[in-house]
Structure 1
């Protein structure tokens, strides 16, 4: 890829808009994807945050628009959706009503874009997969709904981070197309194994943080710091 193409990708901003019923975890998904804990409060109107998709090379600038669940019947929804490259319909796997309401959300969004030639990529995300034992939405219903509306399907958990990065990064890669050279896992998504400290470890002894085979370096740490090995 040429330097010019790299600059074009890095200057491009992908707007991702999340819609769905209140309490489905839209804000938590945004926070989790941007490196937060996944915890959140309620949203009023729409909240916009910015970051980078570090799962692609080169990184892609991302703008996340978290739309409040009570905007379905308002005239502001079209404004919030404006210039979206990706729209994600979020539902709660443990709340059947949140899934059934997606039909209204999809119909409303499709109505807003019916005269547009350049339509956004649309997908659905079933949140709270960490509560699979409380699932209220049947997989067959999700499959049928996705097929009826040509929606790519994902499920995961904003609380644990399961599939959040993978889903967002996959959709961004779809929008960027051949301009993206590779799909990689950010270091923050790699498994970390903690190694207990040895007793009576000298304070001046260096602790090692092994990032990968291509980059080994020693980091001086205090006696209370544990050693982490990232594979």
Structure 2
């Protein structure tokens, strides 16, 4: 039995009435177009949108954790990338228990900009933050990685963050990332079994190339000998 079960998207009336014993607020920040919204929707609804829709201001998601001795309402604030210099940042950060700094592992600038995100966000946070996390998204594009694992780890250690690599597209690591953050705040120890149950089965997407079947045999001659060379066009 997993340590926690989830009720996605409860009615706001339930949330406002304080139906759970405890409420946690997690704020997700980072550049535009790096997949913050898809990380949130993957965790809350297990959904992924292939079309990029720019977040204006902030979007909010609610999920209730049950079965851990107490019901916990988790409110996630997905802050739009343009809000780095916006006037509403303090409002979005108000009451936050955890900050999640996201970047795209294939986009070096999105990683570099985290220095500014970190500085600005902390300057506008009045309440003590119980947990900070560094999340590299698009693990499914590992072959296009622009930021070395060492840089990822170094940044997280220097800024006292937990470190995570996820894929909003496949779901890899997303639920486990949030579970670890929530468990850390609540002082709950995740067992190996708990962590394994949060890992989705990743199904590889097969991309069909129309030219794969077009194979040419190139015949070369060297000192009177011939050899067949097969090449894919």
Q: TM-score, normalised by structure 1?
A: 0.70
Distance 1:165 1:33 in 2: 6
**Greater Rg over alpha carbons, structure:** 2
1:32 is the counterpart of 2:36: no
- Equivalent in 164, 174, 180 of residue 184 of structure 2: 174
CA–CA distance in structure 1, aligned partners of residues 62 and 130 of structure 2: 19
Query: Using the alignment, how far apart are the partners of 1:181 and 1:94 within structure 2?
Result: 30
> What's the CA shift string for 1:156-207, capped at 9, x where partnerless?
10010001010100100111115x7978469786659xxxxxxxxxxxxxxx
1:64 paired residue number? 76
- Out of 84, 90, 104, which is 2:102 matched to? 90
Structure 2 counterpart of 1:78: 90
Residue pair 1:56, 1:184 contacting (<8 A) in 2 also = no
User: CA–CA distance in 1 between the matches of 2:46 and 2:21?
Assistant: 24
Q: Offset of 1:101 from its aligned partner? A: 0.2
Unmatched tracts of structure 2, length 5 or more: 1-17, 203-233
SS at match of 2:82: helix
Deviations 1:137-171 (A, max 9, x none): 11121122112111111001001000101010010
Aligned partner of residue 34 in structure 1, secondary structure? helix
Work out the number of aligned pairs and report it.
183
Larger CA deviation: 9-18 vs 141-150: 9-18
Structure 1 alignment gaps of length 5 or more: 1-7, 193-231
List structure 1 runs of 4+ shifted beyond 4 angstroms: 54-59, 180-183, 185-192
Give the alignment's TM-score, normalised by structure 2. Answer: 0.70
**Cα drift, residue 68 of structure 1:** 0.1
How far did residue 11 of structure 1 move? 2.1
Change over 3 Å in CA distance of 1:123–1:159 after alignment to 2: same
Match of 1:164 among 164, 174, 179: 174
Partner of 2:23: 13
Q: Once the 2 structures are TM-superposed, how far is the Cα of residue 55 of structure 1 from its aligned partner?
A: 8.3
Partner of 2:112: 100
